[in-house]
């Protein structure tokens, strides 16, 4: 197991290096620079050069690259071009809290409700429960979350005034964005869980468990759920990613100063270093999620655990 994790960590470093290189050159090949904006249009050539020199943009590309990578190894993501000389790393740290809160809440909410709905649907297969769950699931998958977000804002926020419409001032402000994000997850997980449960409930070992005289709930909880969870773990990775991309939009709609809105702004402003920093941050986050998923696999499924040992 230790060896497995070690190998994976090395792989992660290599992947991150490749991503950093790729984004660096991609960004440089794109037309435009951070100082091309309209209000800076009538900058004198001298001043512009001064800016370039300050941020190291006047040097040849490969020097810029090595410099950037050198800083990166030391954990320095460089200075933001837009947010007046703030280091990118501290920018990300400042913006992390709201995004993390919403994301975490959405994962917990989505997983727990999704799993419960899926289980109930499978256990009450072909009944009203089942149909109800599946309708929710189809709606949740097909209605984009920004539509849902606007819908919530209008009714719950504006019309009925139960919860705040936008901004980030108290805990209450996190509720609507969390729900808007979680609905998609609920739908995805519920559908998946239902199918897995139906499959597992057909298995011989379930009949074996019943033949031992165990009660329905004991069979369900002790024998069925764990086995049905194994494939759920597989889609956890993609689910988390969909939350990330979802949060780009949601944070903008609810005007939340999170990482998602930082990303969107930095792209608008050609803020190279911030874009780079965030891309790396997202990649690292995603890869680590995948690692955790694989470790979770081993915990849930003993067959995979042994494979890891070999």
Partner 1 sequence: MAPLLSIKNLHVTFNTYAGKVYAVRGIDLTVEKGETLAIVGESGSGKSVSSKAIIGLLPKQSASIEQGEVLFEGRDLLSLNKSEMQKIRGSEIAVIFQDPMTALNPTMKVGKQVVEGAMKHQKLSKKEAHHLAIELFEMVGIPNPEVRINQYPHEFSGGMRQRVVIAMALASKPKLLIADEPTTALDVTIQAQILDLLRDIQKKTGTSIIFITHDLGVVANIADSVAVMYAGQIVEKGKVEEVFHNPVHPYNWGLLRSMPNMETKGKLYSIPGSPPDLMNPPTGDAFAPRNEFALSIDYEKAPPTYAVSETHTAATWLLHPKAPNINYTKQSNDDLDEEEISAVNMNDTLLKVSNLKKHFNLPSKQVLKAVDGVSLEIRKGETLGLVGESGCGKSTTGRTLLGLYEPTEGEILYNNTPIKEGNKKDFSQKIQMIFQDPYASLDPRKKVEDIIAEGLDIHGLAENKQERQEKVQRLLKVVGLQPDHAQRFPHEFSGGQRQRIGIARALAVEPELIIADEPISALDVSIQAQVVNLLKELQKDRDLTYLFIAHDLSMVKYISDRIGVMYLGAMVELAEADELYKKPLHPYTQALLSAVPVPDPKIEKTRERIILEGGLPSPVNPPQGCRFRTRCPLATEKCAEIPQWREVEKSHWVACHYV
Indicate whether 223 belongs to the interface with partner 1 (CB under 8 A): yes
Nearest to 236 by CA among 185, 307, 301: 185
Indicate whether 296 belongs to the interface with partner 1 (CB under 8 A): no
Token pair for 126: 């072909």
- Tell me which of 38, 45, 46, 310 binds partner 1, using CB under 8 A: 310
Contacts of 191 (CB under 8 A, 6+ apart): 118, 134, 137, 141
CB 194 within 8 A of CB 228: no
The C-alpha atoms of residue 92 and residue 100 are separated, in whole angstroms, by 11
Q: Which is nearer to partner 1, 89 or 203 (CB)?
A: 203
Stretch that binds partner 1, among 92-100, 166-174, 239-247, 300-308 (CB under 8 A): 300-308
Q: Compose the 43-82 pattern: x for residues touching partner 1 by CB under 8 A, - for all others.
A: ----------------------------------------
Output DSSP code: residue 74: T
Q: What radius of gyration, in Å, describes the C-alpha atoms of the chain? A: 24
Indicate whether 207 belongs to the interface with partner 1 (CB under 8 A): yes
The C-alpha atoms of residue 98 and residue 110 are separated, in whole angstroms, by 18
Indicate whether 300 belongs to the interface with partner 1 (CB under 8 A): yes
- Least separation in angstroms between residue 201's CB and partner 1 is 10
Stretch that binds partner 1, among 20-28, 204-212, 240-248, 260-268 (CB under 8 A): 204-212
Indicate whether 205 belongs to the interface with partner 1 (CB under 8 A): yes
Distance set, CA 47 to CA 41, 50, 91, 209 (Å)? 11, 5, 26, 78
What is the Cβ-side half-sphere exposure of residue 304, based on CA atoms within 13 angstroms? 15
The C-alpha atoms of residue 292 and residue 241 are separated, in whole angstroms, by 14
Using CB under 8 A as the binding criterion, the count of chain residues that bind partner 1 stands at: 27
Q: Compose the 103-132 pattern: x for residues touching partner 1 by CB under 8 A, - for all others.
A: ----------------------xx------
- Tell me which of 96, 214, 284, 290 binds partner 1, using CB under 8 A: 214
Contact residues for partner 1 (CB under 8 A)? 125-126, 203-205, 207-215, 218, 222-223, 226-227, 230, 300-303, 306-307, 310
């Amino acid at each position: 197991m230790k060896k497995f994790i070690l190998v994976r960590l090395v792989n992660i470093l290599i992947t991150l290096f490749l991503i950093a290189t790729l984004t660096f050159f991609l960004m440089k090949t794109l037309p435009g620079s951070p100082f091309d904006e309209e209000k800076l249009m009538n900058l004198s050539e001298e001043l512009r050069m001064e800016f370039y020199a300050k941020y190291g943009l006047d040097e040849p590309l490969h020097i810029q690259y090595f410099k950037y990578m050198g800083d990166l190894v030391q954990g320095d993501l460089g200075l933001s071009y837009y947010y007046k000389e703030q280091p990118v790393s501290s920018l990300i740290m400042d913006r992390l809290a709201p995004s993390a809160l919403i994301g975490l809440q959405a994962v917990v909410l989505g997983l727990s409700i999704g799993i419960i709905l899926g289980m109930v649907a499978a256990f009450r297969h072909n009944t009203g429960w089942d149909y109800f769950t599946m309708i929710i699931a189809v709606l949740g998958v097909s209605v984009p979350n920004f539509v849902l977000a606007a819908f919530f804002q209008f009714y719950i926020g504006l019309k009925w005034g139960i919860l705040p419409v936008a901004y980030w001032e108290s805990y209450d402000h996190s509720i609507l964005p969390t729900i808007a994000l979680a609905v998609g997850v609920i739908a995805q997980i519920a559908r998946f869980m239902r199918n897995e449960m139906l499959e597992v409930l057909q298995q011989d070992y379930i009949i074996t468990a019943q033949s031992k005289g165990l009660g329905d709930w004991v069979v369900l909880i002790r024998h069925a759920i764990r086995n049905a969870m194994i494939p759920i773990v597989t889609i956890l990775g993609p689910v988390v990613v969909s939350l990330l991309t979802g949060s780009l939009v949601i944070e903008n709609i609810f005007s939340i100063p999170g990482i998602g809105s930082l990303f969107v702004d930095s792209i608008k402003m050609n803020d190279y270093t911030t874009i780079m920093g965030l891309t790396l941050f997202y990649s690292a986050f995603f890869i680590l999620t995948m690692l955790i998923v694989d470790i979770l696999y081993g915990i849930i499924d003993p067959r995979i655990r042994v494979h890891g040992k070999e």
